[in-house]
Amino acid sequence: MIVEQSRTRQRKKRSKRKILKSILTLFVLTFVVIGGAIFYSAWKINSTITGAAEPELERGVKSEMRTEAVNPSKDNFSVLLLGDDSRPGETRARTDAMLVATFNKDEKSIILTSIPRDSRVEMVGLGFMDKINHANSRGGLNMTINTVENFLDIPIDYYGYVRFEGLVDVVDALGGIEVDVPFDFTFNEKSTDSYNLQFTEGLQHINGKEALAYSRMRKQDPLGDIGRGQRQQQVIEGIIKQAASFSTITNFNGLMDAIGDNLGTNFSFANLVALHSYAGSLTDIENHQVQGSNATINGVYYLEVDQEHLADLQTRLKQHLEIDGHSLNDPNPFEEEKFEEIETSY
């Protein structure tokens, strides 16, 4: 029984890792691989990124944890990736997805850390504990970045966020995508004006509105959030396959316009080009997820973060960024954990 539970946990971990890799792959693929195909594409992407540039953060061009601003082409750096689940008319929303990617220039390696949205952390600037995904709705991007920096104890150099509503435009610009529907269901949601959207078990070609519904549905899924995560993975993989196809070039303008309208970032085009050198590492990303236990406080559900695991995670990320006296040659605090995982797989 214990062995079977261990295997189930491992399968869930592998599923989450695939989702995280797909998200980062899409981020790099869209702006670097496709962008490098022809000169016009590069020019168009440059225009897209310029249009997506956000107002300067309150802190300025660098993290307060840095003595000087970093350059992705020659420095180690970090990126906070956010999924904004705002509905029409909302100016601020809770972040439905939160990932931190760190990049090491010498190894050309990537570590991707997932922060569960219910993680109970200190809200920087407010002085109390709350779910980390509330930071954006309470204080916007500035509070979100400050809270993540305080939580992980590392500088956040860059950020990129995508509005989930933009998924509709992106998928439509690609001409739709194909997903493998696990069971029959009907989706209805007043806030997105989605009514009687039918999904039938098996392969199905879906448009943008259907892709958003397919990604959001949770209550009818017997696996709950796990099932929703698996369907979101299908959508992301479907986008990647379509974006990588030659036929996409025929609607390149529409795709870039869709991205530009729904992306926010402080990356410049030159910054994004610097990510190209990491493309070979996308199939070998070191993945971590903040660990904790379920807790209910004053009737509200939280993930109570495991402080020992968090301390190890902070150390590992500092090693990767080579800051605060840490280096890649230091012992990896997760080596023993990896060994234990391998043992339980036999």
Q: What is the per-residue pLDDT across 288-344, written as a single tens digit (0 to 9) for each?
A: 888 899 899 999 999 899 999 999 999 999 999 999 999 999 999 998 654 444 344
Burial class of residue 148 in the structure, from the number of CB atoms within 10 Å of its CB (0-12 exposed, 13-18 middle, 19+ buried): buried
Query: What pLDDT is attached to residue 137?
Result: 86
Q: Long-range contacts: 290-295, Cβ < 8 Å, 24+?
A: 290/113, 290/114, 290/115, 290/116, 290/119, 292/116, 292/119, 292/120, 295/120
Q: Is residue 31 predicted with pLDDT exceeding 50?
A: no
Which tokens hold the place of 19? 């989702």
* Cβ-contact 104, 328 below 8 angstroms: yes
pLDDT range class, residue 168, cuts 50, 70, 90: confident
Average pLDDT over the chain, rounded to whole?
76
Segment 144-170 shows an average pLDDT of 88
Nearest to 93 by CA among 185, 169, 161: 161
Q: Is residue 208 predicted with pLDDT exceeding 80?
A: yes
Query: What pLDDT is attached to residue 345?
Result: 41
* Cβ-contact 133, 217 below 8 angstroms: no
SS3 labels along the chain: CHHHHHHHHHHHHHHHHHHHHHHHHHHHHHHHHCCCCCHHHHHHHHHHHHHHECCCCCCCCCCCCCCCCCCCCCCCEEEEEEEECCCCCCCCCCEEEEEEEEEECCCCEEEEEECCCCEEEEECCCCEEEEHHHHHHHHHHHHHHHHHHHHHCCCCCEEEEEECCHHHHHHHHCCCEEEEECCCEEEEEHHHCEEEEEECCEEEEECHHHHHHHHHCCCCCCCCHHHHHHHHHHHHHHHHHHHCCHHHHHHHHHHHHHHHHHEEECCCHHHHHHHHHHHHHCCCCEEEECCEEEEEECCEEEEEECHHHHHHHHHHHHHHHCCCCCCCCCCCCCHHHHHHHHHHCC
pLDDT, one tens digit per residue, over 85-110 is 665 555 556 677 787 889 999 998 88
pLDDT, one tens digit per residue, over 53-67 is 555 788 988 999 999
Query: What pLDDT is attached to residue 335?
Result: 82
Nearest to 152 by CA among 319, 13, 301, 9: 319
Torsion angle of alpha carbons 288, 290, 294, 297, nearest 10°?
A: -170
pLDDT range class, residue 206, cuts 50, 70, 90: very high
Only one residue has tokens 């660990």, namely: 291
Phi first, then psi: give them for residue 245, nearest 5 degrees. -80, 150
Query: What pLDDT is attached to residue 204?
Result: 95
Which tokens hold the place of 272? 């994004």
Query: What pLDDT is attached to residue 259?
Result: 66
Q: Is residue 189 predicted with pLDDT exceeding 60?
A: yes
Query: What distances in angstroms separate CA 161 from CA 8, 80, 259, 275, one per listed residue?
Result: 31, 8, 11, 17
Reported as half-sphere exposure (CB side, CA atoms, 13 A), residue 200 has a value of 3
pLDDT, one tens digit per residue, over 116-131 is 888 999 999 898 999 9
Instruction: Select the more confidently predicted residue: 340 or 253.
Output: 253
Query: What pLDDT is attached to residue 1?
Result: 52
Segment 148-174 shows an average pLDDT of 86
pLDDT range class, residue 37, cuts 50, 70, 90: very low
Query: What pLDDT is attached to residue 226?
Result: 57
pLDDT range class, residue 258, cuts 50, 70, 90: low
Query: What pLDDT is attached to residue 247?
Result: 53
List residues bridging with 83 in a β-sheet.
97, 162
Query: What distances in angstroms separate CA 284 from CA 31, 101, 270, 278, 307, one per listed residue?
Result: 20, 13, 24, 11, 27
Which tokens hold the place of 286? 């070191």
* Cβ-contact 282, 110 below 8 angstroms: yes
C-alpha span between 313 and 59 (Å, rounded): 25
Query: What pLDDT is attached to residue 66?
Result: 96
Query: What pLDDT is attached to residue 198?
Result: 93
Instruction: Select the more confidently predicted residue: 161 or 191.
Output: 161
% of the chain at pLDDT higher than 90: 33
pTM (2 decimals)?
Answer: 0.69
Query: What pLDDT is attached to residue 336?
Result: 60
Query: What pLDDT is attached to residue 346?
Result: 38
* Cβ-contact 318, 324 below 8 angstroms: yes
Segment 220-227 shows an average pLDDT of 73
